[in-house]
Amino acid sequence: MKVVTVVAPVNIAVIKYWGKRDEELILPINDSISGTLSTDHMCAKTTIQASPLFQENRFWLNGKPQDFDNPRLNNCLKEVKRRAKPSCPILNWKLSICSENNFPTAAGLASSAAGYACLVSALAQLYEIDGDISSIARRGSGSACRSVYGGWVQWVKGESPTGEDSLAVQLAPASHWPEMRVIILVVSNETKKYSSTSGMKTSVETSQLLPYRAKEIVPKQVERMKRAIADKDFEAFARITMEDSNSFHAMCLDTFPPCVYMNDISHAIVDVVHTYNQLKSSNKVSYTFDAGPNACLYLLESEVEEFLSVINYVFPPRSGSIQDEYIKGSKVKQLPIQE
Ligand code: ADP
Ligand code: DP6
Ligand code: CO
């Protein structure tokens, strides 16, 4: 019997991925950029056991048995095995995979990113493969390729129709900008109405804004964002992050039928951030929303205390729980992080 356990972080995109040019290979229509959060508060944890005595493959997610016959899981497994040495003694052993997220699953908090980065890192250790594994994690969930690296990460969309060049690259380690913090405001733990996969498919099929965003808006914003991160220019970083979140949700509303992910509380958070920034005469806090109502706020450490006191005043405890998340040089490591 061979056993590995791996923990993997979520990442929160500041330039969003939304739309595939190839559904099967999970190839995106635009580049995206994210920050990888430390695993202190939010992470996926996966244990894989391989044994010659197991009769069949098994997979549990958050304690519930899943169908192993899942194409994404099998694409990852196939690709890892393809890269394993033919002499690897466990290639024919059956697997028992057990994965858990310590935060809401399928609620717009990047569970598929942490989950598949974790699964692929664990498989890579199990079958002892080397080299970049982000393009394998991508076959599980697009955003997962970015969770393979710490710090600031770009998913380069690539040009090849077969996808070898569609992978993640680290733009800067977390230590480059150690003052950066992320606050997650959990507005709702509920599973989203439409998964990211189906939402973005409908957007590709129906949104007239989508091709314009992918071709005209995102490439320029990616370059600006890379400069803002390289220069540690928070004012610019915050502006681009908020613009991209708004552009992404505009495209979601332009989808038919519309993908409505943000709710009244999400919009109230947007208002609080803008009011705060206006009072400070500069962008001190930025928001970004994934495919769900929960807010991810990027801000510098110097602002955390004051901004949290405003949040606690405007949203007294009932409306949502608050967790601090940190992008800290010493804490964000490149995956896999083995226990
Ligand atoms: P999210 O916004 O949380 O990423 P998605 O709709 O993108 O939501 O993906 C949710 C799906 O990702 C789940 O239904 C499940 O299939 C998969 N997933 C989430 N966590 C894990 C995990 N730890 N291991 C394997 N798959 C996972
Ligand atoms: C809004 O990576 O979850 O979080 O590739 O179909 O699994 P699939 O979708 P997924 O989409 C993430 C969308 C997003 C933006 C982002 O993380 O870039
Ligand atoms: Co996801």
**Model confidence over 218-277: pLDDT tens digits?**
999 999 999 999 999 999 999 999 999 999 999 999 999 999 999 999 999 999 999 999
Q: Which atom of ligand 2 is nearest to the CA of 248?
A: 1
Per-residue pLDDT averaged across 160-183, rounded? 94
Q: CA 168 to CA 124: how far, in whole Å? A: 16
Taking the centre of ligand 2 as the mean of its atom positions, its distance from the CA of residue 12, in whole angstroms, is 10
Q: Is the shortest distance between the CB of 102 and ligand 1 below 6 Å?
A: no
Which token pair is 100? 């858990």
Is pLDDT of 153 > 70?
A: yes
Q: CA 270 to CA 297: how far, in whole Å? A: 10
**pLDDT over 70, % of the chain:** 93
Is pLDDT of 58 > 70?
A: yes
Q: Which atom of ligand 1 is nearest to the CA of 195?
A: 6
Q: Is the shortest distance between the CB of 122 and ligand 1 below 6 Å?
A: no
Please tell me the pTM assigned to this model: 0.94
Ligand nearest to the CA of 11: 2
Is pLDDT of 123 > 70?
A: yes
Hey, whose CA ends up nearest to atom 6 of ligand 2? 197
**Model confidence over 15-45: pLDDT tens digits?**
999 999 999 999 999 999 999 998 988 899 9
User: Which residue of 143, 167, 252 sits with most ligand 2 atoms within 8 Å of its CB, as the best mutation to test the pocket?
Assistant: 143
User: Which residue of 141, 146, 197, 201 sits with most ligand 1 atoms within 8 Å of its CB, as the best mutation to test the pocket?
Assistant: 141
Hey, whose CA ends up nearest to atom 1 of ligand 2? 290
Ligand nearest to the CA of 146: 2
Taking the centre of ligand 2 as the mean of its atom positions, its distance from the CA of residue 26, in whole angstroms, is 10
Q: Which atom of ligand 2 is nearest to the CA of 142?
A: 5
**Model confidence over 73-116: pLDDT tens digits?**
999 999 999 999 999 999 999 999 999 999 889 988 899 999 99
Per-residue pLDDT averaged across 281-287, rounded? 97
Per-residue pLDDT averaged across 44-70, rounded? 97
Taking the centre of ligand 1 as the mean of its atom positions, its distance from the CA of residue 269, in whole angstroms, is 25
Hey, whose CA ends up nearest to atom 23 of ligand 1? 115
